[in-house]
Amino acid sequence: MKAAASAQRRLLDLQAEDTAIAQLTHRKTTLPEHEVIAKGKEERAQVAASLVATRTRLGDFTAEVEKAESDLVPVKERLARDIKRRDDGLVTDPRGFAALADEIEHLGKRISDLEDAQLEAMEQLEVATAEEAELADQVLELENSLRAVIAARDEQLAGLDAEIAGHQQARDAAAAELPADLVALYDRIRVKAGGLGAAELKARRCGGCQIEATATALAEYAAAAEDEVLRCEECERILVRSGS
């Protein structure tokens, strides 16, 4: 392929823009905030799951307390009636009085058991309530922290996108001034060679692969016409002669 020497030299400007775009794009994907956000979301999900489980337990303990209170009401009412019957002397038969006394004793024990269960449920409810409040605070704190990091990341991404747009505009302008076939060749090589399609030949060395050209290759380069598009014998990138 042939192209004016000036056009070949302009390939280095095109390459500089492509390199800048690639570097900025890499920076976008490797911002440390990405990892911080991912870990923060994972931690928030774990705490949120614990909060859901605690709220479920909180509902269970609340139901237990309410049930204990509900169970106590009829037992206490019956005990009060039995005590009144005993104290009012309404039961005079010895066997009936003994049965009444046994029932009063049984009801007293039943009330004691129910009150113990109620107290235990209330203690569990108190612990779960405190735990729920603490976990809710943690979720809120994590969400606030995440929002701050996301905002910082988005601000950086916006800045990088603006820089990329500027380099893309300069790249498009440079490409428009070059022969289409030269740009097409450069782009094919660039894609294949990891982003570097053209490199300067300077001090006997290819700026792409950094390998020093052999004497035979240098002789061929020197003998080539000025408008001949040279290719590195090692990496096959376009070699732009600098004259040094």
How confident is the model over 218-230, as pLDDT tens digits?
A: 999 999 999 999 9
pLDDT over 70 at 244, yes or no: no
CA dihedral sign of residues 154, 157, 162, 168: negative
Tokens of 100: 């009444």
76-85, 158-167, 211-220: which is most confident: 158-167
pLDDT, residue 97, reads 85
pLDDT, residue 93, reads 87
Annotated domain spans of the chain: 5-24+179-241, 31-176
pLDDT, residue 91, reads 81
Out of 3.30.1540.20, 1.10.287.1700, 1.10.10.1100, 3.30.2350.10, the CATH code matching 31-176 is 1.10.287.1700
**With pLDDT > 90 as the criterion, what percentage of the chain qualifies?**
84
Any idea which of 146-150, 184-188, 214-218 has the lowest mean pLDDT? 214-218
For residues 45-77, one letter each, b for 16 or more C-beta atoms within 10 angstroms of the residue's C-beta and e for the rest, the string is eebbebbeebeebbeebbebbeebeebbeebee
